[in-house]
Structure 1
Amino acid sequence: MLDLTKLARQMQGLSQHLTQEAAASRQRLELAQKHFQNAVGCQDELVQRQEKWRDRILFANATPLEPLNTCIDIPVPPKIHTVIATDGSQISPSHHEIAYCYLLNIGRVILHYGQNRYPLLDSLPEIFYRPEDLYFSRKWGIRTEEWMGFCRTASEATVLTELACSVKEDRGTEEVPTLAMVDGSLIYWFLEQLPLEARDRILPPILEAWQKLRDAQIPLMGYVSASRNVEGMNFLRLLACPHTVPDCASFCPNQLEKVPCKVFEPLRDTTLLSTLLKPGQRGCLWRSNVRILDLYQDQAIYFCYVHVGTEIARIEVPSWVAQNTTMFDLALGLMLAQVQKGYGYPVAIAEAHNQAVVRGGDRTRFFAILERQMIKAGIKNVGTSYKEARKRGSIA
């Protein structure tokens, strides 16, 4: 139980810290704005330096493909369209439960607008209990809970593609604008830490699913709310670098220490863009250069920031969407309409989450069904551990 009386004594120190941090943040923002304006005037030169010294720059920085001060109004989408989204949730394995197993639940949503068609809102559960499912990842030093999350990411992409392709097949020759959305980034940073064999079990199914969307000409989009990304700010570090060349490997090999070009840290891209964009506008289109994207073959990730009215959202798309101007503009329009319908967050993604989430009652019913099946199979002494039983009730 949380002792609020004791907690209240610490609040004064926290409020003082936040006040000091807010003042420091304003100073960083003013400095970043000055560098931003300077970078606008020498953008081509900075991009050339970036390309020339790419192998010697140790921090993640993106490449602007349009003028840095770009502000483009997002077009109004057509009234007739379809939006598809998936999201996942899980029940993690526990040795204290009646059986050591885990469950993945993928929420599915298809919303049709202006078509007089019923939406799809459901979920696909899948239980994993075989030893090869539970302990397979241990040989790579990956915990089952972590591996379960990686598999869930691949399942979300696969199910999303299946939904999108089925919708297109049902329509036949009828052309209806369609958008496939996922919650979060399309850049899967966790892949960097995985052994090659483990990575080959996660990434190929994702890229294969994206390729099917590409063949079907259905744009894919990742919606990142409250983004903490600094790839855009890191591009400005090329201008803030005090050395004649941005050779981090020679001058600043330890990026975890305080280095001269980190004059804005920890300022985020969204903070700077909030001073530039108006509601309904997108900023400059960027190409991400993070090293993990070398594994994405010809499906590199591009991104831009959009003022959706309630926040500055980071929007990520594969290269084949960004390079098709008509498709990209249409996808942005459909995304913004989703945010407006969802009162600040895309309604399709929110509903996919609601379909996927496993609540306390669902978890209880899941293990109750499992218990009945185990007893029916003749298994005796079925029950949770004493620790789990005591945690669920108190004698105090």
Structure 2
Amino acid sequence: MLDLTKLARQIQGLSQHLTQETVASQKRLELAEKYLRDAFTRQDELVNAQDKWRDRILFANATPLEPLNTCIDIPVPPKVHTVIATDGSQIAPNHHEIAYCYLLNIGRVVLHYGQNKQPLLDSLPEVFYRAEDLYESRKWGIRTEEWMGYRRTASEAVVLAELSCAVARGENLNQKVKKNPELSTANLPLFSESLPPRIPTLAMVDGSLIYWFLEQLPLEARETILPPILAAWEQMKAAKVPLMGYLSASRNVEATNFLRFAACTHPTPDCMSFCSDQNAKLPCKVFDPLRDSTLWSTQLKPGQRGPLWQSNSRILELYQGQQIYFCYVHVGTEVARIEIPNWVVEDTELFNEALGLTLAQVQKGYGYPVAIAEAHNQAVVRGGDKTRFFSLLERQMIKAGLRNVGTSYKEARKRGSIA
């Protein structure tokens, strides 16, 4: 039980700290705006320096593909369109439960606008209980709980591609799900070239398309997770369904870090020669840790996007040519980071259409894309769902003739306190 009386003393100190941090943050923002104005006129020079000294730079940064002062109004989306989203949740394995297994639940949402079609709102659960599912990751030094999250990411992409291809083919998804409730996500169907008239469609995911966690994985583990994701993106590319990753309250600093080239006081931005001392105060970090979204909130008006950026994350070298770009969009309630594959950006009409649909989703969701929010609601596993899952599992185990089925004494004791 939380003792609020004791906690209140610490909250007072926290509020004072936040007040001081607000003042310091405002100063950092003013300084970053100064360097941004300087970068407007030196952009080509800074990009050349970034490219020339790429191998000697020790901080994450992105490359602007458009003028830094770009502010483009996002077009109004068409009335007739479709939005698809997936999100995932899980039940983690627990040695104290009646069986050591885990469950992934992928929420699926397809919303049709102006088409007189019923939406698809459901989830696709999958239980993992075999030894190769539970213990395979141990040989790479990855805990089962972490591996479960990585597999969930891959499943979300595969299901999203399957739905996108079905929508592009004009299939009635509600009837398809009724006929086959456990619609397979293991193998994507080959995409047909004969398509009905195209309806503007957008596929959305919650979070980044740059899977930073892959950098720390061994090669064999990485090859288990990444190829299904890239194959799913290729399916969406063939179906001409643009993919966008939506990041709310983004903490990224890649774009702001580009301004560190303007703030560098050394003859060249050679971090390994001039700034390799970890304890030294770096002259280019004068506005750190200012977020990209904070800086671009001063540059954009509601309904506008900023310049396109190319991420220079090393993990993208494994994306088989599917480069990830991003931009910041003022959606009215905040400045969100939107990540897009290169094949979407290269089709200007498709890119603008997708941005318009994204902005419409935020407006319909009162500040957050309604399709992603609904996918989360479909996927989330609440306490009651978890209890029913293990109850169902217990009945099946007893029916199979297993004895001594039940939770550990520790788990049973934690569920019922005598205090």
TM-score range, shorter chain: over 0.9
1:192 matches 2:200: no
Residue correspondence of structure 1 range 1-396 to structure 2 within 5 A:
1-170=1-170, 172-254=195-277, 258-396=281-419
Structure 1 length-normalised TM = 0.99
Question: Which one-letter code corresponds to 2:145 in the other structure?
Answer: E
Question: Which one-letter code corresponds to 1:209 in the other structure?
Answer: A
> Deviations along 1:328-370, whole A, 9 cap, x unmatched?
1000000000000000000000000000000000000000000
By how many angstroms is 1:251 displaced?
A: 1.6
Distance 1:53 1:21 in 2: 33
> Deviations along 1:233-291, whole A, 9 cap, x unmatched?
11000111111111112222256763221111110001111111111000011111111
Alpha carbons of structure 1 residues 167 and 254: separation in structure 2 relative to 1, 3 Å: farther
> Deviations along 1:299-330, whole A, 9 cap, x unmatched?
11000000001100000000111121111100
Q: Decide whether the 8 Å contact of 1:58 with 1:255 is kept in 2.
A: no
State the SS of the aligned residue for 2:88. Answer: strand
Question: Which one-letter code corresponds to 2:47 in the other structure?
Answer: V
Q: Decide whether the 8 Å contact of 1:164 with 1:218 is kept in 2.
A: yes
State the SS of the aligned residue for 2:116. Answer: coil
Distance 1:348 1:112 in 2: 11
Where has structure 1 moved over 3 Å in runs of 4 or more?
254-258
By how many angstroms is 1:169 displaced?
A: 1.2
Distance 2:414 2:278 in 1: 44
Alpha carbons of structure 1 residues 81 and 254: separation in structure 2 relative to 1, 3 Å: farther
Greater shift, 26-35 or 251-260, is seen at 251-260
By how many angstroms is 1:175 displaced?
A: 1.3
State the SS of the aligned residue for 1:42. Answer: helix
Alpha carbons of structure 1 residues 8 and 307: separation in structure 2 relative to 1, 3 Å: same
Structure 2 length-normalised TM = 0.93
Distance 2:404 2:196 in 1: 59
State the SS of the aligned residue for 2:402. Answer: coil
Distance 2:50 2:138 in 1: 40
Alpha carbons of structure 1 residues 257 and 138: separation in structure 2 relative to 1, 3 Å: farther
Q: Decide whether the 8 Å contact of 1:64 with 1:285 is kept in 2.
A: yes
Alpha carbons of structure 1 residues 256 and 115: separation in structure 2 relative to 1, 3 Å: farther
Distance 1:278 1:253 in 2: 39
Q: Decide whether the 8 Å contact of 1:104 with 1:125 is kept in 2.
A: yes
Distance 2:149 2:256 in 1: 30
Give ranges in structure 2 of 5+ residues lacking alignment: 172-194
Q: Decide whether the 8 Å contact of 1:64 with 1:284 is kept in 2.
A: yes
By how many angstroms is 1:15 displaced?
A: 1.0
Distance 1:2 1:158 in 2: 42
> Deviations along 1:373-395, whole A, 9 cap, x unmatched?
11111111111111111111110
By how many angstroms is 1:170 displaced?
A: 2.0
Alpha carbons of structure 1 residues 104 and 24: separation in structure 2 relative to 1, 3 Å: same
Question: Which one-letter code corresponds to 2:233 in the other structure?
Answer: W
Distance 2:156 2:81 in 1: 22
Q: Decide whether the 8 Å contact of 1:182 with 1:222 is kept in 2.
A: yes
State the SS of the aligned residue for 1:271. Answer: helix
Identity %: 77
Greater shift, 168-177 or 353-362, is seen at 168-177
Alpha carbons of structure 1 residues 381 and 258: separation in structure 2 relative to 1, 3 Å: farther
Distance 2:233 2:275 in 1: 38
Question: Which one-letter code corresponds to 2:267 in the other structure?
Answer: T
Instruction: Provide the aligned C-alpha RMSD in A.
Output: 1.0
Distance 1:84 1:106 in 2: 13
Distance 2:308 2:93 in 1: 42
Question: Which one-letter code corresponds to 2:139 in the other structure?
Answer: K
Q: Decide whether the 8 Å contact of 1:82 with 1:111 is kept in 2.
A: yes
Alpha carbons of structure 1 residues 82 and 255: separation in structure 2 relative to 1, 3 Å: farther
Distance 1:254 1:322 in 2: 39
Question: Which one-letter code corresponds to 2:163 in the other structure?
Answer: L
Distance 1:294 1:349 in 2: 28
Distance 2:170 2:253 in 1: 42
Distance 2:116 2:382 in 1: 32
Distance 1:322 1:101 in 2: 41
Question: Which one-letter code corresponds to 1:367 in the other structure?
Answer: F
Distance 2:399 2:287 in 1: 63
